[in-house]
Amino acid sequence: MKAELLAQCEKAIDKSITDALGGYNSPLMEAVRSAISEHQNQLQELANESVAELVNSDEFKQAMKLEMKRKLAKVLISQYGGQIEKTVGQLKSNPTSRAKITMAIDGVMDDLINQGDSKNE
């Protein structure tokens, strides 16, 4: 019985500490806010440096260009999708036409993706 009572007391103490330090009105939360506020300018400088390094890196520029091209290709395809589907539907029964269409789409995608790469050289 003593062991069970002790275990319940430990649980109550643990919950009390957790609630006091992790709750909405926790004094610890205010302490952290205050510490961050005191170092706001330094944190802002670090954030600016980090963003500047990322934006100015060649890796980021290449990734951004590639993603923009992919998004543009998706938008263009979705806008003209109905017409493309209609034409493809008409030619679907012919294996030669189907192969040519596939090669044409691959060529358009390659051109869109590689177009920016040749401009950077």
Q: How far is it, in rounded angstroms, from Cα 93 to Cα 96?
A: 9
pLDDT band at residue 81 using 50, 70 and 90 as cut-offs: low
Q: How many residues does the chain have?
A: 121
pLDDT band at residue 116 using 50, 70 and 90 as cut-offs: low
pTM of the model: 0.42
| pLDDT at residue 119 greater than cutoff 60 | no
HEC string of 68-118?
Answer: HHHHHHHHHHHHCHHHHHHHHHHHCCCHHHHHHHHHHHHHHHHHHHHHHHH
- In b/e form, how buried is each residue of 45-62, taking b as 16+ CB within 10 angstroms? eeeeeeeeeeeeeeeeee
Per-residue pLDDT, 117: 62
Q: What is the CA radius of gyration of the chain?
A: 30
pLDDT band at residue 46 using 50, 70 and 90 as cut-offs: very high
Per-residue pLDDT, 102: 83
CA distances from 102 to 45, 90, 95, 113, 114 (A): 50, 14, 11, 17, 18
Residue 65 near residue 116 (C-beta atoms within 8 A):
yes
More confident residue, 44 or 93: 44
